[in-house]
Amino acid sequence: MTNIEKLGAAAKNASYSLCSAGSDTKKQALAAISEALWENRETIKKANALDLEYGKEKGLPESILDRLTLNDTRIKDICQAVIDISRQNDPIGEVLEGSVRPNGLSIKKIRVPLGVVGAIYEARPNVTVDVAALCLKSGNTCLLRGGKEAINSNKETVRIMRSALKKSGLDENCICLVEDTTRESAQEVMKLNKYLSVLIPRGGKGLIKSVVENSTVPVIETGSGNCHVYVDEYADLDIAAKIIYNAKVSRVSVCNSIETILIHENVAKSALPVIKKQLDQKRVVIKGCQRTCEIIDARQATEEDYYTEYLDYILSCKIVKNIDEAIEHITKYSSGHSESIITQSYENSKKFTQTVDSACVYVNASTRFTDGGEFGMGAEVGISTQKLHARGPMGIKALTSVKFIIEGSGQIR
């Protein structure tokens, strides 16, 4: 048995006791984890400094280094997210449906944990805590495999969380970390059918594609974020400029930031200068269609640009004839993550929300709200862009399945 198989087996064994742990026990364990992470923030920052040093030596872009950075503010936010998760209603044992059959059998459908949740992700050390906390609250154990860029941060946070679990009376193997960050270790995790109930990739398009194509463990695909904002002919242009600025530059390295804006031709000449003036504050490079380049100073966009998740201060732009062309563009190029329409037309907003087939569709709001914390879930395991089992920000309930409990009094068939 390899080391990774041993970790899978340990997580599987721990799942049997965790699934029956009471709500109070899990809540207390999460509180202990939050407290321990904050008390040990200096050691976390020291470990994180090693990762940042490595990242700079390897020439990682600023957007990735930003994702990787842990400071007091971010550690405090992580700790608060754990508390927020602990305060969520415990879904385990919830009766979803119930009936009594004519033969007297009583049938109930209840929520149960998935079992062992595997996660493969990249340079996001906060994901380590988010996934562990959500799994714990939903009665699942987890096997975590982060990227080499964050290995020191991940090792330290997992050490702290496992210690807190042990002090709370739970099996420390409820949270297991694969410390081997080679490609081979990721491939091995993808084949742990014997131990993992589901595998969730969280990262760039390449990572997600690799997991989806190579895993024999069932996968919940969390998509890359090629997100759009459509400025309708009935848009309030000041609101449009404000939303586009926020959706693009508030944090360019995250999947819910926008990569393309679509603008109705009737308002393009008045909207584009206003939008560009806002974006110029952060020196955002605009790659536009020919008509865009005729109105503002922009680079010529290519077909590939409209498919690209930049995760940088770059934004594609296209002028469209009407809402139908905007929807057609989104249908062709979107990754199915988050889209927004800016309009004062109820009819157009309704058409957009009904027709655009993405996990999250907004009206007059920034796509940056696509987040488990913003949706009241405390955090999320990922943003699912598929339709089977879970879609959108995945909170506690997305990490559950169902079980049928049938009670009888001697019935036979």
pLDDT of res. 67: 85
Predicted local confidence at residue 75, as pLDDT: 97
Rounded to the nearest integer, the mean pLDDT of the chain is 95
What pLDDT, on the 0 to 100 scale, is given for residue 123?
A: 83
Write down the pLDDT at residue 141. Answer: 98
CA distances from 370 to 142, 392, 401 (A): 24, 8, 23
- In the β-sheet with 198-202, what is the strand arrangement from edge to edge? 175-177, 141-145, 116-121, 198-202
Q: How confident is the model over 183-214, as pLDDT tens digits?
A: 999 999 999 999 999 999 988 778 888 999 99
pLDDT at position 68? 93
Question: What pLDDT does 253 receive?
Answer: 83
Cα 255 → chain centroid: 8
Positions of CATH 3.40.605.10 in the chain: 3-222+381-407
pLDDT (0 to 100) of residue 64: 85
CA distance 261 to 356: 15
Fold of 3-222+381-407: Aldehyde Dehydrogenase; Chain A, domain 1 (3.40.605)
Question: What is 227-369's CATH superfamily?
Answer: Aldehyde Dehydrogenase; Chain A, domain 2 (3.40.309.10)
pLDDT in the model for residue 167? 94
Tell which residue, 324, 327, 328, 307, has the closest CA to residue 316. 307
pLDDT at 128: 96
What is the per-residue pLDDT for 203?
80
CATH 3.40.309.10 residue ranges of the chain are 227-369
The pTM (predicted TM-score) of the whole model is 0.87
Extract the residue ranges of the chain whose pLDDT is less than 70.
none
Query: Would the CA dihedral through 115, 399, 48, 60 be positive or negative?
Result: positive
What pLDDT is attached to residue 39? 98
